[in-house]
């Protein structure tokens, strides 16, 4: 093969690396992906009956405070001024998230000022306080007190993780802020928005370079491929963004993941829930949330009498399932350390992305990590290789 670099996986990490190597260094890059589309989990496509863009692997909201990443992504797409907001249904009543003064006042049927609300919550947090914060429940109770924890966090988390919150690491909810004002923006980042003409158009532009060849429906591990891409390992550098345990044939044991199931439905009504994402905090329904995609793009000319909704369910992944979230148990972390030792023995292969590093990465994190990998590893590597 006439190629300088092989990239396994056409998600944001892989395509950022491919784009930089082709554009900046003039390298010839082959990107393979076992799926029949590019974009990894950020892929979206149009639902044919309604024309509404559906994020096929769950809602993807772009946000970052990293100026380098923001400037980079803006070379491929412009962004709308979408600001993500989420509501949650608890005992038949709708509350704003993340937990803020509006949520607190509604929950306690009160009109507390920020100072009064802080005093109340710290009193409730003190009641449930433990000496050392050892798990998600301890952390949540310390942050918001037991009543709010039990209403909005405990059962949602149990549904999403199928694990007792007392057995989950505290970091799982570190993404969720608590605000003592009425600001209910979900993200606190400097930059936020959705790609004006959709995720797939953005991602296609990243791959659109004469030096980049994308081969879809091509599995790195399928030895019956016409051209065995695995043979390139050892001859050209490989950037591998597939599951790290799969690469080593699960030699250290499988890493555990949670997967999501999506149930999509076209509903013959103009507006199903009045908001893009509605969480369901209680165990009376099995899904964790419902996405209604037309609300991500109020600026678009979508039909007034139809809508697309997607119910999201969460469960432990089995062999054939798509991995979404690393479960990250103590056993997983131990195995990951051993895989990292094996990675160190593979100087010709760079592991990256969510699957390749067994890390939950937001889109901007995957892109930021890929830009660093390009600057710190690939650029020097090809500089020394140059004749």
Chain residues that interact with ligand UDP, rule: CB under 6 A: 88, 97, 152-153, 156-157, 160, 172-173, 175-176, 279, 281
Q: Cβ distance 356 to 240 under 8 Å?
A: yes
Distance CA 221, CA 228 (A): 9
Comparison of 63 and 297: residue with beta carbon closer to ligand UDP: 63
Q: Confirm whether 175 is a catalytic residue.
A: yes
Six-digit token string for 54: 């559906």
Q: Rounded CA gap, 378 and 371, in Å?
A: 10
3-state SS, residue 231: helix
Please identify which of the residues 175, 208, 284, 299 carries the catalytic annotation.
175
Pick the catalytic residue: 20, 258, 335, 354? Answer: 258
Minimum Å distance from CB 47 to ligand UDP? Answer: 21
Cβ closest to ligand UDP, residue 5 vs residue 97: 97
Which of 344, 349, 340, 280 lies closest to 309, judged by CA? 280
* Nearer residue to ligand UDP within complex by CB, 306 or 364: 364
354 included as an active-site residue:
no
Is 301 one of the catalytic residues? no
Secondary structure (DSSP) of 62-85:
EEE--HHHHHHHTTT--B------
Contact (Cβ atoms closer than 8 angstroms) between residue 274 and residue 96: no
Q: Is 258 a known active-site residue?
A: yes
Spatial CA neighbour of 11 closest among 257, 239, 245, 353? 353
What's the gap between Cα 10 and its chain centre? 15
- Active-site residue, from 56, 154, 289, 335: 289
Active site residue 28: no
Instruction: Provide the minimum distance between the beta carbon of 359 and ligand UDP in the complex, in angstroms, as a whole number.
Output: 13
Q: Give min distance, CB of 374 to ligand UDP, in A.
A: 26
Identified catalytic residue from 19, 245, 332, 362: 362
319 CB burial (10 A radius; 0-12, 13-18, 19+): exposed
Q: Shortest approach of ligand UDP to residue 145 CB, angstroms?
A: 14
Return the number of the residue (84 or 306) whose C-beta is nearest ligand UDP: 84
Tell me the closest approach of the beta carbon of residue 44 to ligand UDP, in angstroms.
16
Give whichever of 204 and 282 is closer to ligand UDP, judged by the CB atom: 282
Scanning the structure block, which residue is given the tokens 């004749």?
A: 387
Q: Which residues are catalytic?
A: 175, 179, 258, 289, 312, 360, 362
């Amino acid at each position: 093969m006439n190629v300088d670099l092989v990239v396994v996986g056409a998600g944001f990490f892989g395509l950022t690396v491919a784009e930089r190597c082709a554009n900046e260094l003039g390298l010839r890059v082959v990107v393979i992906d076992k799926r029949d589309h590019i974009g990894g989990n950020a892929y979206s496509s149009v639902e044919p009956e309604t024309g509404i863009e559906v994020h096929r692997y769950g809602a993807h909201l772009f946000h970052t405070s990293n100026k380098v990443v923001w400037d980079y992504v803006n070379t491929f797409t412009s962004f709308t001024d979408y600001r993500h907001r989420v509501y949650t249904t608890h005992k038949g009543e709708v509350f704003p998230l993340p937990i803020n003064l509006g949520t607190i006042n509604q929950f306690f049927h009160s009109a507390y000022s920020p100072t009064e609300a802080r005093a109340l919550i710290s009193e409730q947090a003190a009641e449930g306080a433990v000496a050392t914060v050892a798990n998600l429940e301890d952390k949540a109770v310390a942050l918001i007190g037991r009543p709010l924890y039990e209403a909005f966090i405990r059962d949602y988390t149990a549904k999403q993780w199928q694990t007792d919150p007392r057995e989950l690491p505290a970091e799982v909810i570190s993404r969720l802020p608590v605000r003592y004002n009425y600001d209910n923006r979900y993200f606190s980042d400097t930059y936020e928005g959705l790609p004006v003409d959709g995720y797939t158009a953005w991602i296609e532009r990243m791959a659109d370079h004469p030096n980049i060849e994308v081969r879809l429906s091509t599995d790195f591990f399928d030895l019956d491929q016409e051209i065995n891409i695995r043979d390139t390992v050892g001859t050209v550098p490989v950037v591998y963004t597939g599951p790290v345990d799969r690469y080593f044939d699960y030699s250290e044991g499988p890493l555990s993941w949670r997967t999501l199931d999506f149930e999509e439905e076209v509903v013959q009504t103009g507006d199903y829930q009045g908001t893009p994402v509605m969480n369901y905090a209680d165990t009376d329904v099995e899904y964790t949330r419902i996405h209604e995609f037309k609300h991500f793009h109020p600026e678009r000319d979508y039909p007034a009498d139809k809508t697309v909704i997607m119910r999201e369910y969460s469960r432990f992944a089995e062999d054939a399932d798509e991995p979404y979230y690393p479960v990250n148990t103590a056993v997983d972390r131990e195995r990951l350390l051993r895989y990292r030792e094996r990675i160190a023995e593979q100087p010709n292969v760079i592991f990256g992305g969510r699957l390749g590093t067994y890390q939950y990465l937001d889109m901007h994190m995957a892109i930021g990590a890929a830009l660093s990998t390009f600057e710190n590893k690939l650029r020097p590597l090809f500089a020394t290789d140059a004749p």
